[in-house]
Amino acid sequence: MMYLSNTPSSLINYFPTVICNSRQFNRTVINHNLQYVAFEKPSKKVPRALNSSEFDAMIQSGAAFAAQFKLDDPVLDRIDQDVLGRNPGEVVPGGWCLGGEPGNITCSAWGDADILRPGTGAARLEKLIVRLLSNGEFHSRQCIVE
């Protein structure tokens, strides 16, 4: 843990490291963090900030997460609107929020947070997971330590 606290992106690396080193979970983990990241060329070691020009590639990747973004980059608003269906200043729509009072953008009527209505993003994520699991290299990419 001390090593990870002094490394870049320690939170991104901490949990996968713990899970991969756990005898309880290491046979169920594949080496992929479901994150879309673009790297600087030619080094391909330093992630670069994502922007609107990469929106389509980000979405088509099927990744559940993406990094990194510049503070207040317009692509974040596009993700809110086009992916999450969230209008500026409002909460993300879903089963947990049944609505609000007219003129009030907060959620004043709460629903059941356990209700999930998968959208097109869920289908893209499923496609990515199926591709990762059906890859002939699946077993060699697992983090099994004997």
Q: What is the pLDDT of residues 27-75, one digit of tens each?
A: 787 777 888 988 877 777 778 899 999 999 999 999 999 988 999 899 9
Residue 52 lies in a domain: yes
Structurally, how many domains does the chain consist of? 1
Pick from 125, 139, 103: which is nearest to 30 by CA?
139
In-domain check, residue 48:
yes
- Does 129 map to a domain? no
Query: Is the pLDDT assigned to residue 105 strictly greater than 90?
Result: no
pLDDT at 3 over 70: no
Do the domain assignments include residue 58?
A: yes
Domain of 58, in residue numbers: 2-83+136-141
Residue 45: inside a domain: yes
Answer whether residue 99 is part of any domain.
no
Q: Long-range contact list for 31-35, CB < 8 A, 24+ apart?
A: 31/141, 31/142, 31/143, 32/132, 32/141, 33/65, 34/63, 34/64, 34/65, 34/125, 34/128, 35/63, 35/64, 35/65, 35/66, 35/67
Identify whether 107 is part of a domain.
no
Residue-wise pLDDT tens digits, 5-36? 677 666 667 777 788 888 888 878 777 788 89
Segment 123-135, tens digit of pLDDT: 999 999 888 888 6
128 within a domain of the structure (yes/no): no
Name which residue leads in pLDDT, 100 or 107: 107
- Rounded Cα gap, residues 94 and 110, in angstroms: 10
User: What pLDDT was estimated at residue 125?
Assistant: 92
Amino acid identity at 53: S
Mean pLDDT, rounded, for 80-85: 88
Give pTM, 2 decimals: 0.70
